[in-house]
Structure 1
Amino acid sequence: MDGNLEDIRLLEEIQQGSQQSFELFYEKYIRFILHIAYQIIGNKEEAEDVCQEVFLELLQKSFQYQPEKGSVKAWLAVKTKSRSLDRLRKKKPLLMNKLEALVPEKESPLDLIFLNEMERHVLIDALNHLPEKQREAIYRAYFQGETHQQITKHMKKPLGSVKSFIRYGLRNLRKQKSLVKWMEAERGWKE
């Protein structure tokens, strides 16, 4: 049986109250959901809390899945991403809101949007671990397209300092484990 058809059948049985179907669905997707939440949040305990929220919502609102919008797996990925972002927004509202506005969400099919979003959120998390001046200089240069001269005016720093912020910020980004792990071929959940 096709994987998505099996998932749809399980969702229908969950709507009808089948504990066994919920357990099968849970076992099939717990690691997938946990991996997504952890990649976005970067904290195992909070990622586990997001998993609980996603599965609780699934129990209460499994009828919300719409097959014409994508696979069950993509639906879960988007739902997990949304819950994870809600947690991040509570902690890092300013940078998240600015960076989220950079990528339109309706240009690709749901599965491609999910992959693009995952990559973008890994980058956002990495940027949030940089010192503030490095993060601002990189954000202005690469996301707002400002020249070094424009950045010096906004940051009120000499040109040499701005170039150093960018250079050291990029070096620090290259060292971050979250970016290195994302680029690795194996993207499975690692404990």
Structure 2
Amino acid sequence: MDSSHIKLLSATATGDKRAFAELYQNTSGRLYAVCLQLLQRKDLAEEAMQEAYVRVWHNACDYHSDKGSVIVWMISIARYRALDILRSAAHKRERGETDHEPSSDHTPEVSLFDERERARIDECMDTLDDVQRQTIQLAYFRGLTHSELCVHTGSPLGSIKSWIRRGLQTLKRCLER
């Protein structure tokens, strides 16, 4: 599947709107699930996803296959955007500004997709060693930065980055099966 994503992303880099629409169609469910998992609100997840796709459109030519699969690259863009929104919301709370209450209106389709994705991810996470699993869970599911991971684990930055990189490579191989 990643070869089709690479072709679509390459065409997107040249300004091909149809290729971008097809890439969106093929990947939006996974990106939305990541955003919703982190943000826990449909409106914020949709905002993060929209901004992520704008970045994909503008930065398609910056993708390099040696950095991971297209979907992993896109998920990281969406994840970072969702984390930006979380940090912004935390900053607003610190300043006393209010925001909307969290929404709990998950559609059955989203719930089913989330359940299936979590089962696949959990299965693949079980193949990681304990250090890789813990580091990835803290980074991707709890939103800790590399610096925060260093403090939390008491490990050097290079080790944190290596554990995450190797763990993601293992997860990629597992999820592509």
| TM-score of Structure 1 vs Structure 2, range by shorter chain | 0.5 to 0.7
Partner residue, 1:59: 57
Partner residue, 2:105: none
Change (3 A) 1:111 1:30: farther
**How far apart in 2 are the matches of 1:33 and 1:66?**
19
Letter in 1 for 2:33: H
Gaps of 5+ in 2: 95-138, 151-159, 172-177
**How far apart in 1 are the matches of 2:166 and 2:43?**
28
**How far apart in 2 are the matches of 1:84 and 1:51?**
8
> What SS does structure 2 have at the residue aligned with 1:17?
coil
- Post-superposition Cα deviations, 1:49-94, rounded to whole Å, max 9, x if no partner, equal 0111011111111012110011111111111111010011112259
**How far apart in 1 are the matches of 2:67 and 2:77?**
13
Partner residue, 2:86: 88
Letter in 1 for 2:45: A
After the TM superposition, which residues 18-167 of structure 1 pair with which residues of structure 2 at under 5 Å, given as runs? 18-92=16-90, 99-100=144-145, 101-102=148-149, 104-109=160-165, 112=168
**How far apart in 2 are the matches of 1:67 and 1:37?**
23
**How far apart in 2 are the matches of 1:111 and 1:51?**
25
Gaps of 5+ in 1: 116-191
**How far apart in 2 are the matches of 1:111 and 1:55?**
26
Q: Which has the larger radius of gyration?
A: 1
> What SS does structure 2 have at the residue aligned with 1:82?
helix
1:111 Cα shift? 6.4
Change (3 A) 1:8 1:37: same
1:99 Cα shift? 4.8
Percent identity over paired residues: 25
RMSD: 2.9
Change (3 A) 1:99 1:28: closer
Change (3 A) 1:110 1:86: farther
**How far apart in 1 are the matches of 2:166 and 2:24?**
22
Q: Verify the 8 A CA contact 1:70 1:110 in the aligned structure 2.
A: no
Letter in 2 for 1:112: L
Change (3 A) 1:108 1:85: same
Aligned equivalent of 1:13, options 8, 11, 14? 11
Letter in 2 for 1:109: R
Letter in 1 for 2:36: Y
Aligned length: 112
